[in-house]
Amino acid sequence: MKKSNIDDPFKEARETKGFGTMNDQNDPVTMILGHKDVRKCAHNWKTFQSGGDEIGRIVVPSEVHIRDTRQIPFEVDPPQHKSYRDLVEPWFKRPLEEEYQEKLTDIISIIVDEALTKGSMEVVSEFALKLQSRALTLLLNIPFEESELWISWGTHVFRSEDTALDGDKANILYDYIDAQIDKAIANPGVDLYSKLLASEIDGKSLTKEEVKGVLILTFAGGRDTVINAITNTIAYFADNPQALQQLRDQPEHLNSAIEELLRYYSPLTQMGRVVTEDTQVCEHAIKAQSRISMCWASANRDERVFENPNEVVLDRKVNPHVAFGFGTHNCLGATHARQILRILLNTLTQKVGCMQITDAKENIEDLDEFNRKVGFDSLQVAFHKL
């Protein structure tokens, strides 16, 4: 089996009962597995809530014990959600601007050139983490040098080597964001902190806590996910050199290739909700105050929707994947993530002839009933110039 493959561990449960169960820190989660059920639950924000009192509970694993700040707009329900989302949306669409894309192209070219010069590189820490961190300076509109500190934090903001949730590591991020907000108050600039501090909703300025909530979401939501997307993309093209050639010959397939890699690799396995009333999903009773999760990774392999779901079909034309979630809370960073992948694929086709995986340590998520590979802890790759 190719090292870049990711199996579908949910198939049997999805086809027989439609859900799975995961015990997460004694707060069990009913994992919804089918494409249609997942979209139905994501759509029904009244029954499956994001903005409840217990901050951090919709994340799996739960962050109830390590976070007190509400992530915004992520942990807010309509109608308040819309005010926040409308406020931040234009900023998170900046990756569509030409100048942003030029800077991102420079960032990615430098890293790819470095990989080609060195000849061999550990992709997670030396390629993906660096790329993700440097690209984040564009999204926040702050100096490039700031990325050096984030790179020094390592690959996981919340996770450490031995425990899934690491409160100390989370505090490094929260304290850092507090300090940056104070700096922006003292010296307002053109960065996201300052932009948010100067913003109002219904005539009221955003509080420091609200600004912090947006920034935590931006940092945490776009770290492991982007790192996994980049690493899996490199692994895929290393294992499938003909696919790189295919994109060189047919660049018109670039967009469908990006969406297909997102579907197949689904960098975020699942996202939770708190149930507000006794209800049913796929004929399974679900109690008020319990938790469900929408398993994007499973929905994206649903054979009722995707032909040959376990194959990467780079020119897949109709591809209603839910890799960025679905509905009200779909991923705010999707525009940024898509630009990273678009420019990465472009740069690889222009500069890289082929790549080989020489060593790999898989990153397997333990989901109780399931084990899902989400990417790599480390991936050593040999890079060869075109």
Partner 1 sequence: MKTITFITSENDIIETQANSGSLMELAVKNKVKGIDGDCGGVCSCATCHVHVNQEFWNAVGGPSALESDMLEFDDNVSDYSRLSCQMQVSEVPDGLVLKVAK
CB of 259 to partner 1, least distance (A): 5
SS3 174: helix
Distance in angstroms (rounded) separating the CA atoms of residues 46 and 77: 8
Closest C-alpha among 310, 294, 320, 297 to residue 37: 294
User: Looking at 119, 189, 320, 353, which residue binds partner 1 (CB under 8 A)?
Assistant: 320
Give the chain's radius of gyration (CA, Å). 20
Residue 1 binds to partner 1 (criterion: CB under 8 A): no
The length of the chain, given as a count of residues = 386
Residue 83 binds to partner 1 (criterion: CB under 8 A): no
Residue 234 binds to partner 1 (criterion: CB under 8 A): no
SS3 65: coil
Q: Which of residues 298-317 bind partner 1 (CB under 8 A)?
A: 305, 316-317
Residue 294 and residue 274 in contact, taking contact as beta carbons nearer than 8 Å: no
Distance in angstroms (rounded) separating the CA atoms of residues 87 and 89: 6
Residue 372 binds to partner 1 (criterion: CB under 8 A): no
Residue 361 binds to partner 1 (criterion: CB under 8 A): no
Residue 336 and residue 222 in contact, taking contact as beta carbons nearer than 8 Å: yes
Nearer to partner 1, 158 or 324 (CB): 324
Residue 41 and residue 32 in contact, taking contact as beta carbons nearer than 8 Å: yes
Residue 380 and residue 121 in contact, taking contact as beta carbons nearer than 8 Å: yes
Nearer to partner 1, 210 or 259 (CB): 259
Residue 14 binds to partner 1 (criterion: CB under 8 A): no
Mark residues 17-36: x for contact with partner 1 by CB under 8 A, - for none: -------------------x
Joined together, the tokens standing for residue 264 give 């197949």
CB of 246 to partner 1, least distance (A): 17
Dump the DSSP string for 188-212.
--SSHHHHHHT-EETTEEPPHHHHH
CB of 342 to partner 1, least distance (A): 9
Nearer to partner 1, 147 or 335 (CB): 335
CB of 293 to partner 1, least distance (A): 18
Residue 321 binds to partner 1 (criterion: CB under 8 A): yes
Interacting stretch for partner 1, rule CB under 8 A, among 47-55, 117-125, 193-201, 318-326?
Answer: 318-326
Closest C-alpha among 332, 273, 363 to residue 88: 332
Nearer to partner 1, 212 or 263 (CB): 263
Number of residues that bind partner 1 (CB under 8 A): 24
Residue 188 binds to partner 1 (criterion: CB under 8 A): no
CB of 167 to partner 1, least distance (A): 35
Residue 193 binds to partner 1 (criterion: CB under 8 A): no
Nearer to partner 1, 125 or 319 (CB): 319
Mark residues 245-264: x for contact with partner 1 by CB under 8 A, - for none: ----------xx-xx-----
User: Looking at 47, 132, 293, 335, which residue binds partner 1 (CB under 8 A)?
Assistant: 335
Instruction: Determine the straight-line distance between the first and last CA of the chain, rounded to whole angstroms.
Output: 26
Judged by the rule CB under 8 A, the positions of this chain that interact with partner 1 are 36, 39-40, 42-43, 255-256, 258-259, 305, 316-322, 324, 326-327, 330, 334-335, 338
